[in-house]
Amino acid sequence: MDNQVIFYIMGGAGAAFIIILILYVIISKKMQSSEYARIQKLQKGTKEQTFSTEILLQKLYLTYVKVPFLKRYILKLRRRLEIINIDDEYNTRKSAAKILTKALAIVLPLIIVTILITSSNYLLMFILLIFELFMIDTLIDGSVDKIDNNILKEQLDFFSEIRHAYHEFNMVEEAIYQVSQDEEKSISRQGEKIYEILISDDPETELEKYYDIAPNSFLKEFAGVSYLTKEYGDRKVDGASLYLKNINNISQEMQLEILKRDKLNYVFQSLSVISIAPVLLLEPLKNWAISNFSFTASWYEGKPGMIVQILILLITFLAYVLVRKLKDNGSTGINTKNTENPWQKKLYDKKIIKKFVDLFIPKDGTKEYRKIIQLLKDSASHLKIEWLYINRLCLCFATFIVSLILFMQLHAIAINYVYTEPTTDYDIIGELAEKDKMKAMEVTEMDNFFLDMFKGKLDTTTNDVERAFRKSKYYDESMNDEEITEIARRIVEDKLVIVNSEYLQWFEVLLALVFSVAAYMAPIGILMFQVKIRQLEMEDEVMQFQTIILMLMRIERVNVEIILEWLERYSNIFKAPITKCVNNYEAGAWEALEQMKEEVSYMPLIRIIESMQAAVEKIPIKDAFDELDSERDYYQEKRKESNERLIKRKGMIGKAIGFAPMVSMFCGYLIIPLVFIGLTSMANSFSSMSSATF
């Protein structure tokens, strides 16, 4: 290329640059005088110039939704948080991402530590990783419960401000609107929602919808009392506003509930960790015992050690589940599970599976069917009877398969230990010296040669091994007959017998069936445990009923039917009989209450039912329940004492269950094996010494 061509190219490039520069100046001037400049000016100052945590959390939320495994957890969180953050998508996503990120920050390092500690034991690693998945659920539930508790504490200040605003405006909806203007508080969104309900065209219908999504029962009570006061007006009772007295009653209930939750959290704050900690200590304990007492290696690395390890894992899993259920601090547990179309329903909809499952479900109308249905109701389970039996059968089959796999794994462990154990004819305290260990492994390799030769031949004798030994490369002419006989005896009696006997046997299949039957019954056992725990809270629920009646009894136009509807709305343990009574009420009020009284065995609730019967036929409601007002202070003190007893009983049960895995680990996996193996080794040593002396 000559110089003239290069000159033309450079000249063209320079001209193009000048043209582009001129065009840029012209366009810039037009843009500055256009609408674009105004928009750009408006955007300036709204853009985030530095790192933003909120933007990061929004991006993390979008990432979590796309990841299949994490999507389950983020959607579960979302279902609970969107109730708290009413119509606030931004805060819902931010809170969900924040909670899940914190949970992952705790669990991921734990997973890494678990993998490092249990790298030589894949079975234990697998089980521990499953446990850590459960821990994510625990951390998530705990974080959302904390938000629930914060809202409950905010409600105290909210109701206090409502009192002052009501004195100023003397209108329920205006007082709620005024107090709900503080956007920084989560409770303000609930106040705005209640205000929208009260001023809507159909407040009764909107109120029923709100009852389904309210974060706690106290907000339901407040919304209901506010609606009744707006509809029927306020009145003076003993010189004070009835509406404000009712708000005061709700506040007192909340104070008791907050104290109860705080004490329960204090009692149970470390029990979940204590119940699961032993599984993390199994491998370090085993390594410590083997390194200090080498004679325990045969126990820890053989079948007995693995069996005890599995038992401790089962105890830990059961304790962890029970402690979680026991720890329930009474916060509004919004059901985050897919109750419309869960995996059980999808499975049951398949015709072949449906026919098979129906073989196990009791026939409708039978005593067994009624018993199961009642158990589901009493435990407040979201499951249908078909889904319960899907769970039972799946657990049964899974347990049978896992049991067989574990038995086969135990046999493989026993055989593997025979092949890998350093062969010595004495027991020592501490580890083998490196030189002795190499010599012992040489003996093991020699034995393995003959084990492979005679493996599976059940009629092998020491003479067969002796003949094979004399023909092998390991034979040394300097060896005498006694040494060869001892080697053959060791190979046959100490090793070959074990290798040939380690296979799946009929009684192990029978044991797997027994375990699967136990697993089949486990869901029923869990439901029964939930019923027992719920029975501990009967007194607390009835006292809440008394507070509700106390709020309603002096409101104009309130009758027994309205009281029953309110009790049904806030009931948990006694929901089934109250619902039945409400459904039968129009057919005969007194008879419906009498039937409810027959179904209930708890005396304080029976007294409430008798008072309602009196209010139906004889006397006004305020007279039927006048003792609730006159003995209000007594019931408050009794409620406090009841909560103390409930917390104490739950604490005792929780500690017994929570410490069971730790006690099992130290006794069953450390103390008893060391003592038993130590005594056995000592006895064998004395026996060898005695025979050598003689």
What's the domain range around 631? 536-658
**Which tens digits make up the pLDDT trace of 500-521?**
777 778 888 898 899 899 989 9
Q: Which of 529-538, 580-589, 676-685 has the highest mean pLDDT?
A: 580-589
Residue 62's pLDDT band (cuts 50, 70, 90): confident
Considering the domain architecture, whether residues 515 and 545 belong to the same structural domain is answered as no
Phi, psi of 131 (to 5 degrees): -55, -40
Computed over every residue of the chain, the mean pLDDT equals 78
Cβ neighbours of 483 (radius 10 Å): 11
The predicted pLDDT at position 516 comes to 92
HEC string for 233-286: CCCEECCEEHHHHHHHHHHHHHHHHHHHHHHHHHHHCCHHHHHHHHHHHHHHHH
The predicted pLDDT at position 331 comes to 42
- In this structure, is residue 562 part of a structural domain? yes
Which residues, at least 6 apart from 414, have a Cβ–Cβ distance to it below 8 Å? 302, 303, 498, 502
Contact, 96 vs 70, CB < 8 A?
Answer: no
Considering the domain architecture, whether residues 516 and 374 belong to the same structural domain is answered as yes
Q: Which of 187-191, 530-534, 619-623 has the highest mean pLDDT?
A: 187-191
Residue 599's pLDDT band (cuts 50, 70, 90): confident
- In this structure, is residue 24 part of a structural domain? no
- In this structure, is residue 434 part of a structural domain? yes
Which residue do the tokens 């769970």 mark?
391
Considering the domain architecture, whether residues 417 and 524 belong to the same structural domain is answered as yes
* Cα dihedral: 197, 198, 201, 207 (round 10): 50
Check whether 370 has a pLDDT greater than 80.
Answer: yes
More confident residue, 207 or 475: 207
Q: Out of 496, 516, 532, pick the residue that ends a domain.
A: 532
Q: Out of 532, 562, 584, pick the residue that ends a domain.
A: 532
Which tokens in the block code for residue 551?
A: 């709020």
Considering the domain architecture, whether residues 482 and 560 belong to the same structural domain is answered as no
The predicted pLDDT at position 17 comes to 60
**Which tens digits make up the pLDDT trace of 639-678?**
778 778 878 888 888 888 888 888 888 888 888 877 777 7
Check whether 159 has a pLDDT greater than 70.
Answer: yes
- In this structure, is residue 348 part of a structural domain? yes
Considering the domain architecture, whether residues 651 and 567 belong to the same structural domain is answered as yes
Which residues make beta-bridge pairs with 236?
241
Query: What residue type is assigned to position 424 of the chain?
Result: T
Query: What residue type is assigned to position 507 of the chain?
Result: F
The SS3 call for residue 293 is strand
Residue 336's pLDDT band (cuts 50, 70, 90): very low
Contact, 169 vs 147, CB < 8 A?
Answer: no
Check whether 25 has a pLDDT greater than 80.
Answer: no
**Sign, Cα dihedral of 387, 389, 393, 395:** positive
Q: Out of 489, 515, 532, pick the residue that ends a domain.
A: 532
**Which tens digits make up the pLDDT trace of 104-123?**
888 888 888 878 877 776 76
Considering the domain architecture, whether residues 439 and 373 belong to the same structural domain is answered as yes
Query: What residue type is assigned to position 537 of the chain?
Result: E
Considering the domain architecture, whether residues 546 and 652 belong to the same structural domain is answered as yes
- In this structure, is residue 641 part of a structural domain? yes
430 sits in the region (left: phi over 0; alpha: psi -120 to 50; else beta) called left
More confident residue, 202 or 39: 202
Q: Give the chain's domain count.
A: 2
